[in-house]
Amino acid sequence: MTCDHADENCPFIPGTEQRIPLRYEDPKAFDGTGQEAEKYDERSLQIASELFYVFSKIQKK
């Protein structure tokens, strides 16, 4: 999951073994402002680093 809206509105994902919700504030509040690119980059880096951590903990069967 990449935003709080998705976690609340898309709770079922068929075919998954486990659900690990990662909630983020959507940076769209900064659309059209001087901080737009900075906030989207900031959120992208946060998502990437947290997903990297989660994936590093997954064990292959």
> pTM of the predicted model, to two decimals?
0.70
Phi-psi region of 20 (alpha: psi -120 to 50; beta: other; left: phi over 0): beta
Given a contact cutoff of 8 angstroms between Cβ atoms, the answer to whether 27 and 39 are in contact is yes
Give rounded-to-5 percent helix, strand, coil for the chain.
50, 0, 50
pLDDT digits (tens, 9 = 90+) for 8-61: 777 677 887 777 778 888 899 999 999 999 999 999 999 999 989 988 988 776
Does the CA dihedral 50-54-56-57 come out positive or negative? positive
